[in-house]
Chains A and B, each alone.
Chain A
Amino acid sequence: DSGVTQTPKHLITATGQRVTLRCSPRSGDLSVYWYQQSLDQGLQFLIQYYNGEERAKGNILERFSAQQFPDLHSELNLSSLELGDSALYFCASSPLETFSYEQYFGPGTRLTVT
């Protein structure tokens, strides 16, 4: 167990809908990262937050947004869902931004869009 928690574990929804995925980092970790893992795309970095502020952005679609709250938990919002958004969504956390590069992954949320 990495100490990173994610809810829900599974999510099934229809095209066009909006969902929210939640992540709580390890105790003391200030950075949260979101990754998408699909069969044909591997692990793709979406976005990083550090202590409430966006720090790095990857190939995140405009339909997707994220935020990190004062208690350091993070939410990833996916809207206007398409079949191709079906994937495993992982959250990871790390202690600091500098000198501590290790990222620890949560158990993931499996999203199925029908």
Chain B
Amino acid sequence: GENVEQHPSTLSVQEGDSAVIKCTYSDSASNYFPWYKQELGKRPQLIIDIRSNVGEKKDQRIAVTLNKTAKHFSLHITETQPEDSAVYFCAARGVTGGGNKLTFGTGTQLKVEL
């Protein structure tokens, strides 16, 4: 089945700096890659996603890039703010076995320091 690896597990940046989180996936047929933000004790919130036929997608301060050849995708947050502090999860949608199954990475704890 699909396997998703995520790095780093923790990331500390100064307010205003950029943050980059990287994920790799194993199933070359995977076709959808969402990113979720989860604050402590809250639900995962979908913040941005990308499909396999697109190389990059931006939404204000966040962007996601996808390299299908290398099977990796990244989340970029620019001009970080304290409210960006949370755990971020990447995921990949596998196509084998039917359904709409997402395999998640292990998460990145982002801390934005003042």
Contact = CB atoms under 8 A, between A and B. Distances in A.
Task: Say whether A and B bind each other.
Answer: yes
A43 B100 CA distance: 15
A39 to B, nearest CB: 11
B100 A56 contact: yes
Contacts, number: 61
Contacts of A68: none
A94 B42 contact: no
Interface string B12-41: 000000000000000000001010100000
Contact of B97 (A33, A56, A94): A56
Contacts of B36: 105
A108 B105 CA distance: 19
Interface stretch (B44-52, B57-65, B77-85): B44-52
Interface of A: 2, 31, 33, 42-45, 48, 50, 55-56, 58, 90, 94, 97, 101-108
